[in-house]
Structure 1
Amino acid sequence: MNSLRTFLLLHVLTCVGQTVNGSDIIHGEKAPKNSMPYMVSVQNHHGHMCGGFLITQGFVVTAAHCGENILTHVILGTNKIMEDNYLKRGIEKSYIHPGYTSPGFGFDIMLLKLSVEVDINERIHTIKIPASKMNVKENQTCSVAGWGMTQTAGSVVNELRVVNVLIIDPESCKEEWTALPPNVICAGGSGTDKGFCQGDSGGPLVCNDIAVGIVSFNKNSNCNYPDVPNVYTDISEYVPWINEIVKENYYHM
């Protein structure tokens, strides 16, 4: 177990400065206006820390490792997070999955309860998550979006970017990584120059208009030509946990 822990910690991504901070979109393009009204910038007093996505009027999903930072609020309803045309909501409570210890050991999922519910409109909308266990298919084209870096050791961006990535067979992914946590999806990275980078953590992997994954980690924060696949938390494995928290707070899916 100690050797496995050492291996994973050496290979798990996500450090900007001294903080775990997620990933950016590599070789993507600017997202069209209002094309992803579910996207959320999860922030602290210094600005953008992670991505996230709205699943109800009162809850945002993001990565558990984003909670290693002190998070204060979210920004919704805009592609340009450094400008004024946005909606801001405080974070009333964070729910980190009880199984989480670090991205390399899985359970990298967190729910954020907003201080005030948001109104749904053309700029702000929820995205569906799987109703139950959902198996994505090898080579299926999906997308990932975020405000993260566009190159290794770069800086986060103002305008939301998106890129298409292909789903990678789980067994092939395990062979390339040698060790993987449970309940993950692999897409992009290995064999391509497309995927996520630091600052994109917590954002959704979207397949057929359903958020199926959460940006979790890559290898050694390498976003240029990663030699292993990008790894996402498989949301379908956590639907009962999500539903229970939402139910406890009287919000509806």
Structure 2
Amino acid sequence: MGKILYILPLVFICSYAGPLDLTLTKSASERIINGQNATNLQFPYAVSIQRISDVSNPGHGHTCGGVLITHRHVLTAASCTYSINYANKQVIPIIVSEFRVFAGSAFLSNDTLNDRVRNILNYTTHPQHLIEPSHANDLAVITLISPFPEAVVTPLALPPSDYVPTDFTVCTVAGWGARTNTSSMPSTQLQFINKYIYNQNLCASVFNDLEHVERILPTMVCTTSEDIVTGGCMGDQGSALVCGGVLTGISFLPNDCMSENNVRPEIYTRVSNYTKWIQSVTDSAPSVKPGFMALLILTVFHGIFQKVVS
């Protein structure tokens, strides 16, 4: 399996724009644990990406987090836009018509107003995104069919391209994950935790000597907490790390809060490295017809993957 994981990133380098086939299947163990309750106006940029067929369930279909960077665009993790079927050796992109975006309230149950829900037009993953264990360039921009009203949400501005927070800068991350590491149900109330920036070299020394795990790249930023019992888990993928009011990171690989690995620093994609790319996506109209592209990419991926494991 280790050999397979190292080959996967080499073959999934793509960019999607437009409705795509996608089945977002995130583990029930993905969550922020031991967080604090957020109020309605505390994180007006936070969004919940939801599976429409599950919105009547107690978890309201929550699958991933994200952050509004305009009233019509959501920044999230590229790894929120596909799942990997290891049994069939396939990368499965989501079907955008099966998902929606919720924003404007800390409570997922406050979705009866149309102003708090928007359907997805398309999404664009970073063209050099690599899947696990690398998770390089793990960013995607979701374009909504229509913008959220200004009275409902407040987007976060993109950071300057040269923004690098200093070590020990205090930050916050918010998400709708389950409240405890023994629960499988997303929290219906937004939770948040405080983190601080962890030294990049120390973070690299923790991860880079381990086998079959991601490597810490300059395009990533690491955080930790004063205790090891508060943290984000994989269900909080796509949530924003905000430091001093500045959009700093996007969660792509939170800790496994069910194991001893939760003592490791948490890793985020460093948004400032991608400010120009994000702006190029939000400022341009989608021009790629993804149906063909997705089919081509998945076909190539399937063929190479079969050669690797055969």
Fold equivalence (TM over 0.5): yes
Paired position in structure 1 for 2:197: 167
Q: Which amino acid aligns with 2:197?
A: I
1:202 to 2:232 alignment:
no
Q: Which amino acid aligns with 1:172?
A: L
Q: State the secondary structure of the residue aligned to 2:133.
A: helix
* Greater helix proportion: 2
Paired position in structure 2 for 1:94: 123
| Deviation per residue, 1:134-171 (Å, 9 max, x gap) | 11111111000000123335221100001101110011
1:51 to 2:65 alignment:
yes
User: Residues 110, 117 of structure 1: CA spacing in aligned structure 2 closer, same or farther, 3 A cutoff?
Assistant: same
In structure 1, stretches of 5+ residues that fail to align are 10-17
Correspondent of 2:186 among 131, 156, 160: 156
Instruction: Report 1:1-253 matches (<5 A).
Output: 5-6=5-6, 19-20=25-26, 23-45=30-52, 46=54, 47-68=61-82, 69-71=94-96, 72-86=99-113, 87-105=116-134, 106-121=136-151, 123-152=152-181, 154=183, 155-178=185-208, 180-182=215-217, 183-188=219-224, 192-220=228-256, 222=258, 226-249=262-285
More divergent stretch after superposition (157-166 vs 79-88): 79-88
Q: Could you say which structure has the larger radius of gyration? A: 2
More divergent stretch after superposition (219-228 vs 92-101): 219-228
| Deviation per residue, 1:41-78 (Å, 9 max, x gap) | 01122211100111111101011011014442101111
Q: 1:144, 1:223 → 2: CA distance?
A: 21
- Alignment TM-score, normalising by the size of structure 2: 0.70
- Alignment TM-score, normalising by the size of structure 1: 0.85
More divergent stretch after superposition (65-74 vs 166-175): 65-74
The answer to whether the 8 A contact 1:190-1:228 is kept is: no
Q: State the secondary structure of the residue aligned to 1:248.
A: coil
Q: State the secondary structure of the residue aligned to 2:279.
A: helix
Paired position in structure 2 for 1:13: none
- Give the superposition deviation at 1:224: 7.5
Identical aligned residues as a percent: 27
Q: Which amino acid aligns with 2:43?
A: M
The answer to whether the 8 A contact 1:38-1:124 is kept is: yes
User: Residues 8, 228 of structure 1: CA spacing in aligned structure 2 closer, same or farther, 3 A cutoff?
Assistant: farther
The two structures, once aligned, show a CA RMSD in angstroms of 2.7
User: Residues 150, 209 of structure 1: CA spacing in aligned structure 2 closer, same or farther, 3 A cutoff?
Assistant: same
Moved over 6 A (4+): none
In structure 2, stretches of 5+ residues that fail to align are 10-23, 55-60, 83-93, 209-213, 287-310
